[in-house]
A and B are shown apart, each in its own frame.
Chain A
Amino acid sequence: MNNFRTLVFTSIYFLVTTSAFAQDSTGLKTSVSVDIAGEFSADKESDAKDKIGPRSVDVIFYAPVDHIFDGVLALAAHDEAGVSMFELHEAYIGSSKIIPNLSFKLGQYFLGIGRLNHYHRHEWPFITAPEVHARFFGDEGVNDSGLEISYLVPLPFYLDITIGATNGFVYGHAHDEGTKPITPMYYSHIKFFESIGELDIQPGITLLKRHSSLGQKMSLYGFDLTGKVKKGKTLVFLWQSELWQRILEFEGSTKQEISTGFYMYPQMGLTNGLEFGVRVDYLTVNTLKDATGNSVDNSEAALVPTLSFRPSEFSLLRASYKQKRSQTDGEDNVDSKTFEFQATYNLGAHPSHAF
């Protein structure tokens, strides 16, 4: 880890100090995004840490490598139990200039699945991960090394097909190398797009499979739907939702664990950079059984009203209140209430984002 940290510091120092004169001729852009977040318990059941501080710092370098390829390097520092951990988020080479309508990434990247997983956490429309995302993908998302290919199908309507295969040694957020899986992880995401009046909608479907070294087979099926009405600078309306089902199978056993969850987040743009939305989270283990083999109803549900102040695309202040209920048949419900706060800012260039 020390060697890696030294490497990262050296890389940042070298790139930052050279980018000033390298920028004009090479197209190198540097982006630094700082995400300050905090959570405070509003009742005794909340497991909030009652502290605020930098949650992550993302340093992204991107540029055309030559007339064919583009390169991206994203380094991140995270607060983990009070210690800043540096890690490589993304390092890939890619191109959209070799075969018409086709692009690819080769290296390490966040998998192009669902909706949230495409974006760094500081770009999300809310502070913390929805229950289903946290359970299936971790607090941030799933990144891995491999090859991802996207094809814009030449049809009269928008249809984008992404397929990818990655090492699959680890899944989600990990600081170790992991172990070689029985088969590499593979996935596919298909996106559509349609405009209905001023409302633009983008539905997508995802399939992901992983067969870990321990023999655990995971299948993930997802449906994501994003809708937007944007007028000038103002995002008048946003709808973001994802529905996921995860099936875990264990080698040598017929037992399956099936979990289903979703979140939906409608948000209205108010005035002068203010946005207000309410996220609804739900997650259940469909196959949970008691000692006698009877099914047990259970759920994790949360309601998260969120108020954001976004004076420009480069800064944001956000506050939310999370009311969560964990319910399992035969047990007392556990309710918790938490206040969450976030401030993000971007220094330097910031890559433009698609819809």
Chain B
Amino acid sequence: MRFKLLMILLLFNTANLADAEINVVTTTSNAAALIKEIGGKQVNVTSLTKGSQDPHYVEAKPSYMMMVSKADLLVSIGLDLEIGWLPSLLKGARNSQVVAGAKGSLVLGDFIEPLEKIEGNISREHGDVHPFGNPHFLLDPMRTAALSHVVAKKLGELDPTNRDVFNQNAVEFASRLKELTDIWKKQIKESGVKEIFTYHKTLVYFLERMHVHSVGSIEPKPGVPPTPGHILGLIKVAKKLGIRLTLVENYFETTAAERIARDVEGMQVKSVPVSVEGAEGITYLVDLYKALVAAVSKSSKGR
């Protein structure tokens, strides 16, 4: 009898422990990876999009609504990255705890200084532009380091008993990223790669941090497929400037980049992950940064 009671108590306690976890839903796998670093075992994190998925274009699936309806915290990127799908998910989820401005909402883009913020008149003629800035800031290890503290603060608000744990995790993770970033910058500097092409403007923050200049995108305008005229223009630029590397986010086709490579001697085309779990072996943000650093620094004869 005593044994049975003990078992029931244990089960009860286990259930309580499970309930004590903060149920976090993120819009991207990079945001999920950041939350896991800071939240550790105290959070249960689910990403709505997979690492191999372009987060600009996501179907607002009812299954996602279910996830959001059960969330204690919804972490989004902001800067209009999810504008095409998150509003309908929130509407369908019917969870007032995670709507914009609520305690259970964290928009990471609100806490960074964005690049490529557009001033003046813009329209859809310019493609899928993000007027409030480029939303791919989690590819910059230092901005991610700064956001660690923002995440720790938010998790601490939702779970004050573990506030110190979250803060400590943030300090450690930020410090580790700073150390690694210095190493990565040196590694890329030694490779001599200074200018490259990318497909979309996903890598803007990463390249800026590593002092590599993206001198052209395969997309003529954000979200617009390449045209023959644009490809020919890039071939001319590559020949003139000696560009020898094109990085293509691995959810895009490499066909157009390979077309350029056919006409530019020594041009390498690399399909790279830009999200955690976007390729085999990319489990943590650090894995992702390492993969990107390797893609740039291990390219031969880069400029």
Q: Is the pair B91, A103 in contact by a Cβ cutoff of 8 Å?
A: yes
Tell which of A96, A160, A351 has the most Cβ of chain B within 10 Å. Answer: A96
Closest Cβ–Cβ distance, residue B200 to chain A (whole Å): 11
Q: Is A100 an interface residue (CB 8 A)?
A: yes
* B187 located at the interface, meaning its Cβ lies under 8 Å from any Cβ of chain A in the complex: no
In the complex, the chain B residue whose C-beta lies closest to that of A158 is B62
Is the beta-carbon distance between A354 and B99 smaller than 8 angstroms? no
| Residues of chain A with a CB closer than 8 A to B59's CB | 200, 228, 230, 355
B84/A103 in contact, CB under 8 A: no
B117 at interface by CB-CB < 8 Å: no
Chain B residues contacting A154 (CB-CB under 8 Å) are 69-70
8 Å CB interface, B89-108 against A? 89, 91-96, 99
- 17 residue pairs of the A-B complex, CB under 8 angstroms, read A96-B94, A96-B96, A100-B95, A152-B69, A154-B69, A158-B62, A202-B62, A228-B59, A230-B57, A232-B53, A272-B225, A313-B84, A314-B124, A352-B84, A352-B85, A352-B88, A353-B88
Q: Does A17 contact B (CB under 8 A)?
A: no
Instruction: Give bound CA distance, A233 to B56, whole Å.
Output: 8
* B63 partner residues in chain A, CB cutoff 8 A: 158, 193, 195, 200
Most buried by B among A152, A233, A352: A352
Q: A158 — which chain B residues lie within 8 A by C-beta?
A: 62-63, 65-66
Instruction: Give the residues in chain A near B65, CB-CB below 8 Å.
Output: 152, 158, 354
B54 at the A interface (CB under 8 A): yes
Q: For the complex of A and B, list the 8 residue pairs with the smallest distance between their C-beta atoms, beginning with the closest.
A: A193-B62, A97-B96, A96-B94, A354-B88, A352-B88, A158-B62, A232-B54, A233-B57
List, in ascending order, chain A residues with CB within 8 A of B91's CB. Answer: 96, 103, 354
- A256 at the B interface (CB under 8 A): no
Across-interface contacts of A100 in B (CB, < 8 A) = 69, 94-96
Question: Are A232 and B251 within 8 A (Cβ)?
Answer: yes
Contacts of A354 in B (CB 8 A): 60, 62, 65, 88-89, 91-92
Taking A96-B93, A152-B94, A354-B92 as known contacts, 7 extra A-B pairs with beta carbons closer than 8 A to each other, sorted by chain A number, are: A96-B96, A100-B96, A154-B70, A233-B223, A272-B225, A312-B124, A352-B87
The residue on A at minimum CB distance from B62 is A193
Binding site for A on B (CB under 8 A): 53-54, 56-57, 59-63, 65-66, 69-70, 83-89, 91-96, 99, 124, 223, 225, 251
Residue A55 interfacial (CB < 8 Å): no
Which residues of the other chain, A, contact B124 by a CB distance below 8 angstroms? 312, 314
Chain A residue contacts of B60, Cβ below 8 A: 352-355
Rounded to whole Å, the gap between the CB of A63 and the closest CB of chain B is 12
Question: In the complex, what distance in Å separates the CA atom of A160 from the CA atom of B66?
Answer: 10
**Interchain CA distance A313-B223 in the complex, whole Å:** 11
CA distance A314 to B224 in the complex (A): 13
The binding surface of chain A is classed by DSSP as loop
User: What B residues does A313 contact at CB under 8 A?
Assistant: 84
Type the 1/0 row for A93-107, where 1 means its CB is closer than 8 Å to any CB of B: 000111011110000
The CA of A96 and the CA of B57, in the complex, are separated in Å by 25
Contact A352/B94 with A158-B63, A195-B61 known, Cβ cut-off 8 Å: no
Q: Are A355 and B96 in contact (CB under 8 A)?
A: no
| B61/A193 in contact, CB under 8 A | yes
CB pair A200 B61 closer than 8 Å? yes
A272–B84 Cα distance when bound, in Å, is 20
Whether the Cβ atoms of A160 and B62 lie closer than 8 Å is yes
**Complex: A97 Cα to B100 Cα, angstroms:** 12
**Contacts of A277-300 to chain B: CB distance below 8 A:** none
Give bound CA distance, A158 to B66, whole Å. 7
A191 interface residue, CB < 8 Å from B? yes
Chain A contacts for B62, CB-based, 8 A: 158, 160, 191, 193, 202, 354-355
Residues of B contacting A195 in the complex (Cβ-Cβ under 8 angstroms): 61, 63
Tell whether, in the assembled complex, residue A232 and residue B66 are in contact, meaning their CB atoms are under 8 Å apart. no
Q: Which residues of B contact A232 (CB under 8 A)?
A: 53-54, 57, 251
Contact partners of B92 in chain A: CB under 8 A: 152, 160, 354
Q: What are the residues of chain A within 8 A of B95 when measuring CB–CB?
A: 100-101
CA distance A158 to B68 in the complex (A): 12
User: Within 8 Å CB of A193, what residues of B?
Assistant: 61-63
**Residue among A193, A232, A354 facing the most chain B CB atoms (10 A cut-off):** A354
How far, in whole Å, are A157 and B61 apart by their CA atoms in the complex? 13
